[in-house]
Amino acid sequence: MTPTAALQDALAPLVATPSRSGVLLDVDGTLAPIVRHADDAHVPEPTRAPLIKVARGYGLVACVSGRRAATARRIVSLGSITYVGNHGAELLRGGATEPELDPEVAQGRAAVRDFAFREWDSDELRRLRVRGEDKDVICAFHWRGAPDEDAAETAVRDVAARAEAAGLVTHWGRKVLEVRPPVELHKGRGVRAVLGDTSLAAALYAGDDRTDLDAFRALREAVAEGTLEHALCVGVASDETPEELEAEADVVVDGPAGVRAMLEALAAAL
C-alpha cells in the first residue's frame, strides 16, 4: 500500500461522519514549518486554505501547542477554532479573547518566572545566544541557531539541573528546554480538556515531537474508556523526528507538506 493510500484508509472513520469527527493538530513542525527563530513561525496560506474548510465542516478542530494559546492563534491566523496552549495549561476557545488558565498550574506561575528571569539575566546565556521565551506559566530556553549549539546546550543542561533542584519540572523538546510548575502538565491533559465537552465518534491528532506522544496516548485512552470509537495518531516526519514518535504513530506523513495533503483529503470529503 502506498503512503497516500495508507493515509486515505486511516482517515476513513473521520471522513465518514465529519460532523462527529475531531481534528487536533500541533502547530510548530506540523502546521507551521520549523524556523530558526520561533517568533518567525507562521502557517503557509496553502495550508490555511484546507484548514479553514475543515474547520467549517468537522465537529471539532483545535490546535494543541507548547506555546501560549494566543501565540498559537497568531501563527495559525484562524480565530474560529480552539487553541490549547502551554501543553494543556490554557484553553482559548473559538471567538474568545482570553484563555482559561488551569487553576492548579496557575499556582506555580510565580516560582517558574522568578527562576527563569534570573537565569535569562546571566552573562553566560547571553554570550552563548540562548534565547528566553516567556510563556507565562512556562518559560523556555532555546538554543537553535546559536553560534555554538553544543556549548549552548551544555549551558542549558546546567539550567535544567538548577531548575530541578529548585523543585520545578523540566521538559526537553527540539533544541529547547522548558521549565514548568511542579504539576502534571502535558498535551494529553489539553486533549482531554478539549474533548471533554464533545460527543465525537472519531478524532485524529497530528504532531512531530516527543511532547505529542502524550496527546497520542490521551486519544487512545479515550477509545479504551469508550468516549471515542476511533483514534488516529499521525506522526509528522522530519530530519529530527524522534524514533518514539514514528513507533507510536498509526501513520506517518512527510513534514508540514504531508499535513497539508492530509487536510486537503479531509476537506475533499465535505
Residue numbers annotated as active site: 26
HSE-CB at 61 with a 13 A cutoff on CA atoms is: 24
Nearest CA among 14, 18, 24, 10 for reference residue 191: 24
Cα–Cα distance, 52 to 56 (Å, whole number): 6
Cα–Cα distance, 78 to 73 (Å, whole number): 6
Nearest CA among 23, 84, 13 for reference residue 234: 23
Cα–Cα distance, 66 to 172 (Å, whole number): 11
HSE-CB at 256 with a 13 A cutoff on CA atoms is: 20
